[in-house]
Structure 1
């Protein structure tokens, strides 16, 4: 039996208006200037174009700028060493795309078949990691440009020029790394201090804390990723990863203590201290902040905060009982088996791959109908819009159309009014300078900036110059490519959103049950702290992930946006349940009676697999009224009763069914 939202639940007023989803679609995200990245982008675009203009070989250096743009466009907020490792994956794939131009010597039927199969395989590879996702997209894009551009005579030559641009990108990135020595763990730690301060302040003021929890989870994930990545590169003990593990545990303890504290005065005081600590940490102050012990629920909170400050400021601090040891051969074999099992694509991945393959086939087949110059902009649009790991197809199609509409105006202006020279180089460098900021704002803003860059670079490569007419054709191609993605990659395919939401919510329930079990003593001994921290991170991480996915789906038109919105009450209830368990983990003495232990174990089973039919007729109560166990049982039972009021009892979805909201 499964839980699903009732179809007669009232819809919030915000979605009563028919264009509310459009406001969500066009909402801009907050962004801040990354001056080092913007400067690198401007130099990487401007210098090759300047050399090409001065030497009279602009066509050659355009490919160098294109190679740089490939890497710059796929750059993410990762440590420098991870960015260099990502290049080891994306570079050969993007260069392979240019070499796919040799397929143009084959009959067009075979070219269509090859790119259709490559699109299917690329979509599956994209589900494994972000580097493969970026690399396969660049491979398909460059392959499309190479096959569709008759001005290219030797594909290995342009691949070599693009490789020079990539090397230039790596050189600028390396110089930045040496000059700035940016430590992403420091930035994540500072962000966590501020997010914890905001959480404490909002709890003190009885305000919503969902965004604070989301920020905390995102930055904890960053630290976890850095810790595991650093550890994976080391054969033996690694002090860096051990320190990160220690910091993670201290942050987790402070988070739990804040959630478990209800004293407004104490929460307000610790919020101010955490903000001051964040400022001191950002300024590299050597003075270690301290919190004075005061009576009340913050006794443990103050202690945890002081331990966090000590660990942050003293990089040699480690946790002896939480250090990571090198895996044994048997464990390595198990890890390898688990990895191979995860490589098997699921149904959703195969459906997304099939949709991308169908749309790629249609886009390439259109050349039989319209064999005009630069026809390949249609499949390029399809590839960009249909990437299955980049969010909603509908949203990307709409946003790309909006961004391209304005981008072609800029590109057409450059092509018509600006000749190769200093002004041309300055304009292209300025656009590249804005690109990192625009990418943070929205997909439409990114499309608005990157469209004229790609438009001008490709057009200057070709001997056929159409100026404004060429820009208008690209606008028409973008609309046509977006329409193909919408119809053949979105509307005609079975909507699996219902089942995905259901499965994600089931994962949250299992994570919450595991979190509750991790707080319980085992064989009359307290629960291991490392197990408790891992379970807490998993529970809050699952909640943060589904909250992020739902937020993306709000930009789809009804009924998809309404369905996503209708799941938010259940996610909020799960978050309150997680906070109740966190409060219990802080206030529990660790000594349970057999009666309380039995009921808490049953509560975990009810959270994980229970249905409204399994709900007890009488509320469970502790044999010690007012204890931490009693408070948890009351809060959890009230929350489950609230959830049961929003769900129906229906059969669990099969692979061919959906769960209706």
Structure 2
């Protein structure tokens, strides 16, 4: 009986809090940024103005997710401009009936389309629609330009607080991110030969993605002019041979025993040198003598990384070798605009969001719903494309709102308006960064009482806001589930199989490239670039599958059935990298026939995953047990065995 009453994993997965450190600095900034405007508004007799400034500050707090200060300026300022524009549209159509419905629906279409461009565009689209809904649903101070201006002032408060430490911490966040990647590589080496290896490798991939995204975004604007940036990129690129040698260490023969702890310790020492910005001659490394191709490759990689880590002035363009130079901002802007207008996914999501917002606006226009803007606000948050699955977001939003209302009830019922609002807001605001790191439901629980308190300062409904907000949230979640999930075939016929098939096909191409015998000075760099792209794609596939695991059947059940194939493909890529590294340090070179046999079986697997047809029988084994690719062939056969019975 107890087992029958247990909630299914796809329902409870998002309610488990993630392990994350407490962001004390972010909590302090949020407290000051949201409480100070209320204090000024109360002191001047304009609490509504203070509430609007705090609302703009809330948007800035939510958007402040970057590490480097230059990126934080971009991440806060750009979405604030879109948020002010949305507030302007909403204010102009307030009280206009069906004109407001049409306007907000069109804004939803634009918001959905621009959200598909990237992370900053996603937050910009969110604030564009969010503030348009608020402006169209709440009576705000006049004239028309005042609410957008107050919102921008709130964003400026957050930006100012964020940048106060910039002169004292110049370059520190960038160094910390690169050093964190070095430590992730050390953790991976420490996990070689243990069950923790796969999890550590995934963590390293995420850390590499974060570091390259941060540094390459800056390089597009400052390339060749920043010695600090050139040095950090050189240090990050110098870590790649260590990353490539890690799979070889993982696949060492058992007779060599566990990997000595001196190797990860040496990489951690390099992480400290990067973080503390040390320069000069590299200290001697006390590494054990190599015991085969795997450790020989690892020793050479660590020694090279040590030389670069301590080098004071690397060549400014040396960092281009691994990933190539990024496109100029103008080129990337044209690509983004082309993707926005011509991408089927962009239009599908824009229409999907517009349909849900339109239904919400029509519903509250036909049926008398007090302060009906909350319905559309709920739809806006639930339908964001990068927050996870629509189904799980709707469920988590309902739970999070209910929890947030429990916090808001004593505040709205017992706290009198006036100066008491300031300390209460200071406390509630600290919860936003702290709980946001725990998960979507926890973020919703933290934001809900803050928005309710700010709304109450604008419309003075007090405790009577609580139950209508719960009903409105449930209505918004219901609209999202019906019009944003159930009515769309892609919700039920997920494309995770296609994504996985593409990854397998790319893996086959990587195998061919890894063991190509053609000459060329750019061959190692080309392999490194392809491997980095493949690992990034596999990380995206893993994230897509993890989102699918939170869906109800049949999507969640199918994702769980295919999950072992994802792990198997990652092992194939690791084994390919390890084999290539061993070849470069004395292991036998595979023949063309051996490479062709492996790639052929991978191509068959990709085709079966893409079409859903039965996986053809493996061809007669042309590879001997002692050939150069025997271990790789074993991993491919294992992946085919896992995939063969899948639907």
TM over 0.5, shorter chain? yes
- Rounded to whole Å, the distance in 2 between the matches of 1:327 and 1:202 is 31
The question of 1:187 aligning with 2:189 is answered: no
Q: What residue number does 1:457 align with?
A: 454
Q: Which deviates the most, 475-484 or 193-202?
A: 193-202
What is the match of residue 231 of structure 2?
243
Residue aligned with 2:468, SS: helix
For residues 190-228 of structure 1, give each alpha carbon's deviation from its aligned partner in whole angstroms, at most 9, with x where no partner exists. Answer: 322332222222223x31422111111111112221232
Alpha-carbon distance, 1:183 to partner: 3.1
Alignment partner, residue 72 of structure 1 = 61
Equivalent in 618, 621, 626 of residue 619 of structure 1: 621
Question: For residues 27 and 227 of structure 2, what CA distance do their matches in structure 1 show?
Answer: 33
Counterpart residue number, 1:303: 300
- Asked if structure 1 preserves the Cα contact closer than 8 Å seen for 2:494 and 2:555, the reply is no
Q: Is the CA contact 2:583–2:589 (under 8 Å) kept in the aligned structure 1?
A: no
Instruction: Specify the alignment match of 2:354 in structure 1.
Output: 357
Aligned match of 1:439: 436
Counterparts in 2 of 1:286-325, with a 5 A limit?
288=283, 290-296=285-291, 297-318=294-315, 323=320
CA 1:124–1:502: 2 relative to 1, 3 Å: same
Q: 257, 260, 272: which is aligned to 2:265? A: 272
SS at match of 1:441: coil
Q: 1:372 to 1:329 in 2, by over 3 A?
A: closer
Q: Report the alpha carbon displacement of residue 331 of structure 1 after superposing the two structures with TM.
A: 10
Aligned equivalent of 1:214: 202
Match of 1:599 among 589, 594, 600: 594
- Is the Cα–Cα contact under 8 Å of residues 408 and 471 in structure 1 kept in the other structure? yes
Equivalents in 2 of 1:593, 1:484: separation in Å? 61
What is the CA-CA distance between 1:378 and the residue it aligns to?
0.4
Going from structure 1 to structure 2, the CA distance change for 1:555 and 1:596 (only over 3 Å counts) comes to: same
Give yes or no for the alignment of 1:51 onto 2:40: yes
Q: Specify the SS of the correspondent of 1:486.
A: helix
C-alpha displacement of 1:339 = 5.4
Deviations 1:520-567 (A, max 9, x none): 344345772211211221222222211122122222223322222112
Q: Does the residue aligned with 1:546 lie in a helix, a strand or coil?
A: helix
Alignment partners' CA distance in 2, 1:315 and 1:458: 54
Higher relative contact order (CA 8 A, sep 6+): 1
Match of 2:612? Answer: none
CA contact (8 A) 1:97 1:143 kept: yes
Of 301-310 and 449-458, more deviation after overlay is shown by: 301-310
Aligned twin of 2:611: none
Q: 1:458–1:27: structure 2 CA closer, same or farther, 3 Å change rule?
A: same
Matched with 1:538 is 533
Counterpart in 1 of 2:368?
371
Distance change (3 Å), C-alpha of 1:320 and 1:366: closer
2:215 alignment counterpart: 227
Residue 634 of structure 2 is matched in structure 1 by: 638
Question: By how many angstroms is 1:26 displaced?
Answer: 0.9
What secondary structure does 2:195 align onto? coil
Give, in angstroms, the shift of residue 598 of structure 1.
3.9
Shift of 1:163: 1.6
**Aligned partner of residue 287 in structure 2, secondary structure:** coil
- In structure 2, runs of 5+ residues without a counterpart are 609-614
How many residue pairs are counted as aligned between the two chains? Answer: 629
Residue pairs, 1:548-567, within 5 angstroms? 548-567=543-562
Alpha-carbon RMSD: 3.3
Structure 2 CA distance, aligned partners of 1:347 and 1:84? 31
Alpha-carbon contact 1:518-1:527 (below 8 Å) kept = no
Contact persistence 2:398–2:474 (CA under 8 A)? yes
Counterpart of 1:23 (choices 6, 9, 12) is 12
Distance of aligned partners of 1:255 and 1:324 in 2 relative to their CA distance in 1, 3 Å threshold: closer
CA contact (8 A) 1:291 1:306 kept: no
Check whether the contact 1:46–1:429 (CA below 8 A) recurs between aligned residues. yes
| Alpha-carbon distance in structure 2 between the residues aligned to 1:328 and 1:55 | 53
Match of 1:143 in 2: 132
Structure 1, 83-92 or 393-402: larger mean CA deviation: 83-92
Task: State how far apart, in whole Å, the 2-side matches of 1:230 and 1:121 are.
Answer: 28
- Larger deviation, residues 130-139 vs 496-505: 496-505
Cα distance in structure 1, aligned partners of 2:40 and 2:227: 46
Equivalent position SS for 1:120: helix
CA distance in 1, matches of 2:440, 2:329: 40
1:478 Cα deviation after fit: 0.7
For 2:542 and 2:562, how far apart are their aligned partners in 1?
Answer: 9
User: 232-241 or 250-259, which moves further after superposition?
Assistant: 232-241
Kept in 2, the 8 Å contact 1:228–1:241? The answer is no
Structure 1 counterpart of 2:185: 196
